[in-house]
Amino acid sequence: MSEQSTASQVAAVVQGRQVSEFGEFAPEAVRGGVLRVTEAGEEVLHRRCADVGPDMLGGSELGALVDDMFRTMYAAEGVGLAANQVGVDLRVFVYDCPDDEGVRHVGHVVNPVLDERDVDDAVVVEAEGCLSVPGPHADLGRAEHATVRGVDRDGEPVVVSGSGFFARCLQHETDHTVGRVYVDRLSKRERKRVLKRMEEMREGVLERREERAGELSEELAVS
């Protein structure tokens, strides 16, 4: 998911648990590398991803993937990223996203399942963007609150809840793991408009990502 706004960070909640201190970047990013971000239309983005099996939990392959995803997300200046957005057919996403109160939420979820929306929970229409749709945003309704359940890279249970912008992020990233890009939720006319605008903006966005990847290497080297 692409960043919409910058909120003051008054606390950090890591893997659903509040911590008193946290660095500018998740520590995974120091170990990871920048991968290519897939774009709308590529097959891996438009089908349900494979579940992460028990044999991968706690292993180096999954750990390296999470590290790379954090680094790639920061290089693309996003607040969330799913595995199929780096071409990997697995149900995993990472996030570093503020909520509407400025609380920073950081973590990853393996095999995420989104709780059903409470019928009394409001649906909020706001601008939404995606790293796999480089450039444009479009108004889209999402539930005001969201809870995602899954496990972490070691197989330990994870429950992550949020509201506002962070709830939107959780819903957006879980959508990715089942093969749905946010433009799939738009009307046919709006989807066509957004994809046309993406083609117009794409080159500049990708140039900025390459520039940011270089800046990030320097920042992480001294952090």
178-198 pLDDT per residue, tens: 999 999 999 999 999 999 999
Residue 164's pLDDT band (cuts 50, 70, 90)? very high
Rounded to 10 degrees, the C-alpha dihedral 211/137/171/189 comes to -140
Spatial distance between the Cα atoms of 79 and 106, rounded to a whole number of angstroms: 9
| Residue 119 pLDDT | 87
Is residue 5 pLDDT above 80, yes or no?
no
pLDDT exceeding 90 applies to what percent of the chain? 90
Block residue for tokens 């774009």: 39
Q: How many CB atoms lie within 10 A of CB 207?
A: 10
Spatial distance between the Cα atoms of 208 and 212, rounded to a whole number of angstroms: 6
pTM for the model: 0.94
Q: How many CB atoms lie within 10 A of CB 190?
A: 14
Which residues are registered as beta bridge partners of 163? Answer: 145
| Residue 9 pLDDT | 43
| Contact yes or no for 121/108 (Cβ under 8 A) | no
Angle at 160 between CA 157 and CA 164, to 5 degrees: 170
Residue 2's pLDDT band (cuts 50, 70, 90)? confident
Is residue 166 pLDDT above 80, yes or no?
yes
In tens, the pLDDT along 119-161 reads 889 999 999 999 999 999 999 999 999 999 999 999 999 999 9
CB-count exposure of residue 140 (10 Å: 0-12, 13-18, 19+): buried
Spatial distance between the Cα atoms of 218 and 223, rounded to a whole number of angstroms: 9
| Residue 11 pLDDT | 58
Q: What is the mean pLDDT of residues 100-113?
A: 96
Pair of tokens at residue 87: 């071409």
Spatial distance between the Cα atoms of 72 and 169, rounded to a whole number of angstroms: 17
Q: What share of the chain is helix, strand, coil (3-state, %, to 5)?
A: 35, 30, 35
Torsion sign, CA atoms 123, 125, 112, 25: negative
Spatial distance between the Cα atoms of 9 and 210, rounded to a whole number of angstroms: 26
Spatial distance between the Cα atoms of 135 and 122, rounded to a whole number of angstroms: 28
Closest CA to 116 of 90, 85, 147: 147
Is residue 26 pLDDT above 70, yes or no?
yes
Query: Known catalytic residues?
Result: 173
DSSP 47: S
Average pLDDT score, the chain: 94
Residue 45's pLDDT band (cuts 50, 70, 90)? very high
